[in-house]
Structure 1
Amino acid sequence: MRHGVIVLPEKRWTEARKVWTRAEELGFDHAWTYDHLMWRWFREKPWFATMPTLTAAATATSRIGLGTMVASPGIRHPVAFAKEMMTLDDISGGRAICGIGAGAGGFDDDALGIPALPPRQKADRFGEFVELTDRLLREPETTYQGEWFTTTGARLHPGCVQRPRLPLAVAALGPRGIRLAARHADIWITIAWPGHGEPLPYQEAVPVVRQQSALLDKECEAIGRDPATVRRLVVTGAMIDGVLESVETHRDATGLFAGIGVTDLVVHWPRPDFPYQGSLSVLEDIAAEVLTPARPA
């Protein structure tokens, strides 16, 4: 099992740097930050940009993977975004992870003056976003004509450090998104169910994730892809609760999710207040007793 942590981009870099370097010291395999212009409960609070934050984290660390959780077509054009991810992969020495999702809309759409899309159109746009981002990161030159995105002769040179491209992590909960993940993703991301701040105990997420994972297997097999080539990443703390209550709950959750084929478990860096309120000392105990012993010598 690989372990990851989400760090909210809420602190000035003089303080945030300590969190990112500490995450690496604790033994996390990957660290992520949310890709929003403004975000839910933080609309009136400090909130820094994603790509500069990850770039700074790349220069402050040496081993840990660094990813977007998750970039979306609401605020990103695939060409500019792929160029930024290629650059992050270079600066980090091949540690970038490209996390993408359909997008939650809300404050970001309002800030950019973008009208909310009906679900079908939102899914269509996301489909093009995934396909074009995948192509851009793989190919030195890309021409693409879609309903939502178009590019002529977009060049990504010299390309990603990781070959054939950096890992693509696709967030998906439903059948259409999971079908996209089967076709394009190296990592599939799930939070089990959609929602905003009403998480349920991690034990209740296990059968939901199992069912989603089975659908991913089916979609992979339908296109002749080995399902084992797609990692399965579960984000906890958003809609899945209880994982960071103690070393025992983290160990139990890790075992339950590993038992249904989950390869990566992600938590949130504990905060002093809502959301993701928790104890840093508990996280450090987990790192000492669960993360570090699991890492090869």
Structure 2
Amino acid sequence: MSLRLSTVILPVDHWHESGRGKWQRAEELGFHTAYTYDHLSWRSFRDGPWFGAVPTLTAAATVTQGMRLGTLVTSPNFRHPVTLAKDLITLDDVSDGRITLGIGAGGNGFDATTLRRSDERAWTPRERADHFDEFVPLLDQLLREPSVTYEGRFYAANEARNIPGCVQQPRLPFAVAATGPRGMRLAARYGQAWVTTGDPKLYEAGTPEQSVQAIRGQLTKLGTACESVGRDVAELDKILLTGFTPDRPLDSFDAFVDFAGTHFALGFTEIVIHWPIPDSDFAADEKVFERVATEGLAQLGR
């Protein structure tokens, strides 16, 4: 098992100013994958520039060569499987088969209410899980089959055509973000990878040791979910999106090496770090970031 290092580039930069350069630089630094968030806006960035994930990834595909690209993550909060499938097939074509779909149930932020009428409430956690339960299997079918007709509780498709399908066959990979039992089962059944950000309850008040214990518990649950569908958990990549645990892996090069070594030992195959953004939750020393990108895994001998 090997460990890969990837990055998230938030869609906050004008493409012709600094946006294009970041994606090109990510490839120069050797990142395995460069992801972006798929939100309509996000937390402290809601009053500033925030661009769409699909156009951003399309543009990134035209200025990079071999680096993989993807969302981390897309959700049903404002996406429909039929239109998303068409966008993904197009992205996979433009990138010549370099797209990974990070996908999750979504949260209760801006995405959850932007498309709702003023008299509508955001979905509850159970309702988000219900939608996700139907969203993922339908999207899987749409990306595999040339024509799909489906009538479900939340979604419908009437002879939805998706020709010629994905460059990556039988479809592009899903990286399913999940911590609850229903999401874990979806990851086990449909995912080529599983994604976690750790335990959000520990972010502000927890310790790194508590975080490791919580993540170890998540991995155990993933193994149970895989057993329930007759799948070997070793078949799934395990992706850790950093920035939401008590650890501060970009505080220094040594901090990253310790963090990466600990989580590699847990079984993770990919660690994702945020591209630094000054004066934000993702502020970091760019020199440390670049050293981590170029030397961090070599230091681990991975």
Q: What residue is the counterpart of 1:98 in the other structure? A: 101
1:138-167 CA-partner distances (Å, limit 9, x unpaired): 222212221111112111111111111111
State, as a whole percentage, how many aligned pairs show the same letter: 47
Q: What residue is the counterpart of 1:237 in the other structure? A: 243
Distance 1:120 1:70 in 2: 19
1:76-135 CA-partner distances (Å, limit 9, x unpaired): 000100111111111111100111111113222332125311222221101111111111
With over 3 angstroms needed to count, the CA separation of the structure-2 counterparts of 1:5 and 1:214, relative to structure 1, is same
Q: What residue is the counterpart of 2:267 in the other structure? A: 261
Distance 1:160 1:199 in 2: 44
Does the aligned pair in 1 maintain the 2:257–2:300 contact within 8 Å? no
Q: What residue is the counterpart of 1:211 in the other structure? A: 217
Residues 1:61 and 2:67 are matched in the alignment: no
Q: What residue is the counterpart of 1:113 in the other structure? A: 116
Offset of residue 194 of structure 1:
3.1
Residues 1:249 and 2:239 are matched in the alignment: no
Offset of residue 294 of structure 1:
7.7
Does the aligned pair in 2 maintain the 1:202–1:242 contact within 8 Å? no
- Which of 222, 225, 236 is the aligned partner of 2:231? 225
- Which of 263, 286, 292 is the aligned partner of 1:280? 286
Does the aligned pair in 1 maintain the 2:203–2:246 contact within 8 Å? no
With over 3 angstroms needed to count, the CA separation of the structure-2 counterparts of 1:267 and 1:200, relative to structure 1, is farther
Does the aligned pair in 1 maintain the 2:7–2:31 contact within 8 Å? yes
Does the aligned pair in 2 maintain the 1:97–1:169 contact within 8 Å? yes
Offset of residue 291 of structure 1:
4.2
Offset of residue 197 of structure 1:
7.1
With over 3 angstroms needed to count, the CA separation of the structure-2 counterparts of 1:264 and 1:240, relative to structure 1, is farther
Q: What residue is the counterpart of 2:151 in the other structure? A: 145
Distance 2:226 2:113 in 1: 37
Q: What residue is the counterpart of 1:133 in the other structure? A: 139
1:186-238 CA-partner distances (Å, limit 9, x unpaired): 11110112369748554432221111111111111121111111111011013
Distance 1:56 1:149 in 2: 30
Letter in 2 for 1:128: E
With over 3 angstroms needed to count, the CA separation of the structure-2 counterparts of 1:87 and 1:244, relative to structure 1, is same
Q: What residue is the counterpart of 2:22 in the other structure? A: 19
TM-score (norm 2): 0.92
With over 3 angstroms needed to count, the CA separation of the structure-2 counterparts of 1:132 and 1:154, relative to structure 1, is same
Q: What residue is the counterpart of 1:173 in the other structure? A: 179
RMSD of aligned residue pairs (Cα, Å) = 1.9
Gap regions ≥5 residues in structure 1 = none
- Which of 283, 292, 296 is the aligned partner of 1:290? 296
TM-score (norm 1): 0.94
For structure 1, which segment, 190-199 or 3-12, has the greater mean C-alpha deviation from structure 2 after superposition? 190-199
With over 3 angstroms needed to count, the CA separation of the structure-2 counterparts of 1:92 and 1:193, relative to structure 1, is same
Does the aligned pair in 2 maintain the 1:202–1:243 contact within 8 Å? no
Letter in 1 for 2:172: L
Offset of residue 283 of structure 1:
1.0
- Which of 82, 86, 90 is the aligned partner of 1:87? 90
3-state DSSP of counterpart to 1:70: strand
Gap regions ≥5 residues in structure 2 = none
Offset of residue 276 of structure 1:
0.5
Q: What residue is the counterpart of 1:73 in the other structure? A: 76
Does the aligned pair in 2 maintain the 1:169–1:186 contact within 8 Å? yes
Does the aligned pair in 1 maintain the 2:202–2:246 contact within 8 Å? no
